[in-house]
Structure 1
């Protein structure tokens, strides 16, 4: 019996989950599906400039898993761009960050996005 897959920690879901050419119609064969955990690896490594080790720590997975996930995501991005296919982000084995861990360093979870929340997640009142 295989070992169950460990859920990868993701700080936030993408704002848009469908990208593609503006001049094409929708055809099911024109879609490339990227999982949410693959999206997170691209976001952390390319946008946030994390190393693969930092990304692995952030996502709570092994560095070799990050490397494989990141390579799969890059291949899907390339296929979408070069072949003019739609890219849809959905599914995968992930769990959303709850924003209360002290190790969260990406700035993507609610705790780090909103300065108006304190440690017990209650709204602070300011005199602005």
Structure 2
């Protein structure tokens, strides 16, 4: 019996989960990125965290982050180079706790964000 997959922690879900070329009316060519691949790209490339810091935030091993990151980069390259539609969905993840009392995410300490949306 295989070991059950470990859930990855993500801070928030993407605000937009589908991207594609503007000059195509319909596209049947999709690239599917999981939410944890999206989160890895967000943390490493947007927030400039190391693999170790990203692994700590997501609650998995550094080698797992390295594998997730490599897959995400391949998917981004396929999306950009081949003009496909990118959809972000699915995966083995849990959205981290948002403490309503002090308006903070308990894991990443981001203010005022819950499920990818600004809170007033």
Instruction: Give the root-mean-square deviation of aligned CA atoms.
Output: 2.2
| TM-score normalised by length of structure 1 | 0.79
The aligned residue for residue 74 of structure 1 is 73
Equivalent pairs counted in the alignment come to 113
**1:48–1:106 CA contact under 8 A, matched in 2:** no
**Could you tell which deviates more after superposition, 93-102 or 56-65?**
93-102
User: What is the CA-CA distance between 1:20 and the residue it aligns to?
Assistant: 1.0
**Could you tell which deviates more after superposition, 98-107 or 48-57?**
98-107
**Could you tell which deviates more after superposition, 96-105 or 80-89?**
96-105
The aligned residue for residue 56 of structure 2 is 57
Structure 2, unaligned runs of 5 or more: none
| TM-score normalised by length of structure 2 | 0.84
User: What is the CA-CA distance between 1:27 and the residue it aligns to?
Assistant: 3.0
Structure 1, unaligned runs of 5 or more: 117-128
The aligned residue for residue 82 of structure 2 is 83
Bigger Rg over Cα = 1
The aligned residue for residue 122 of structure 1 is none
**In 2 relative to 1, CA 114–26 (structure 1 residues): closer, same or farther, beyond 3 Å?**
closer
Structure holding more strand per residue: 2
**2:27–2:84 CA contact under 8 A, matched in 1:** no
